[in-house]
Amino acid sequence: MAPNFDSRKFSTSRLRSAHGYDNEPVIDNGLAFRLPKFTDYHSRIILRAGVRWMIWSPNLRQDPFYPGAFIHQVPLLLPTEKEQIRTDGHGGRWDYTRNPQHYSHYRPWLAFIVRPGFQEPFDVEYDKVHSVWESTSPEGGRIPPDALQALIERNDLLEAQIKSLFPNAKQIQSGVVSRRPLHPDRAAPDGLLKIDRYEKLLDRMMECQRGIKEKATWVTFVRTWVLNPPSVEFNVRDEVIQAEEKFVGVWLNGDHPEFGWWYLTRAAIPCYIINRIGQSIPATPQCTTFTERTPVSSLQSPYYKYDCIALASGGRYTTHEVGYPQAEKVAQNGLDLARSDLRWQL
């Protein structure tokens, strides 16, 4: 019998889950990469601040959210400052487990992250914390032992798979093994058992889940390389193949993505490109924000469960734009970039 109380509460203000997504991104529309032959593409036109942008893909009919390029001095990490934490615990526009990012030379496996909603039943790293949480009193609760055990077993399994793939990974690129995801270690999931407050479990469990997702992604990346390795010699006759929609994918703009050709012709990774459209090209805008028609729009719904729980419990939202100054336009390397000196632009 379910308890007649709900201990899913917050003691401090939090950002809405969709906070900051409609802010101006840092746009890098350069493309230092020659695409393989393709016969079709999917696109949408966005009119933003008087500028038309075309977001398109040569291998998938899907509308992705464009997060923008992160500032090069900033590592691709997620914020831990209290004023930047959201009601659902995710990391905003740069959360690589939710949104496709610009290609990472250091972590090329991030393109293989499985999108929420496409996971297998045993992928417990996608379990929703608000559903797993078990209230034991009006103020406290826990993660059920069976849910915790499933998380521990999943982490242990992936660790074993990663170690078994070391010989294969060493053949791909120097650093694939040394830069492999290490978090969470065995102690991290175990520590969840001691937490009796929803907001703390939310943050810690989301952190564990992100790490486990990346471990699973690393395994998929190496296995895909083994099953569908790139051609020994560059072949201009290679053609783009249909991507698998279950993957988050990658933005090819910016620095040359050395795995880009493989993503498109062998690995079936969704690849996205953003281009600025000149005035001489006729194109009718379909959207006015980068979130329209994308999976991000679900975060903006008034019925988004995590936000509803926060409101129902009397939780407070930080409704003002914390840490999001108006980005200014500057020219760099002939590209139009919206730059900000902000530490976190999520």
Q: What is the rounded CA–CA span in Å between residue 141 and residue 12?
A: 18
C-beta separation of 251 from 99 below 8 A: no
First and final CA of the chain: distance in angstroms?
41
The DSSP result for 214-253, as a single string, is HHHHHHHHHHHHHHSPPPSS--TT-B--PPPTTB--EE--
Q: What is the rounded CA–CA span in Å between residue 129 and residue 143?
A: 9
Q: What confidence score (pLDDT) does residue 236 get? A: 75
C-beta separation of 98 from 248 below 8 A: yes
Q: What confidence score (pLDDT) does residue 58 get? A: 98
Q: What confidence score (pLDDT) does residue 71 get? A: 60
Q: What confidence score (pLDDT) does residue 326 get? A: 32
Q: What is the rounded CA–CA span in Å between residue 19 and residue 87?
A: 10
Q: What is the rounded CA–CA span in Å between residue 72 and residue 58?
A: 27
Q: What is the model's pTM?
A: 0.89
**Block mean pLDDT (10 aa), the chain, length 346:** 83 90 91 91 94 96 92 50 79 92 94 95 95 96 96 97 98 94 92 95 95 98 96 80 98 90 97 92 89 94 94 69 35 34 25
Q: What confidence score (pLDDT) does residue 318 get? A: 60
Q: What confidence score (pLDDT) does residue 321 get? A: 44
What Cα–Cα distance (Å) separates residue 249 from each residue in 22, 57, 106, 140?
Answer: 21, 10, 16, 38
Q: What confidence score (pLDDT) does residue 83 get? A: 58
Q: What is the rounded CA–CA span in Å between residue 175 and residue 160?
A: 19
Q: What confidence score (pLDDT) does residue 257 get? A: 84
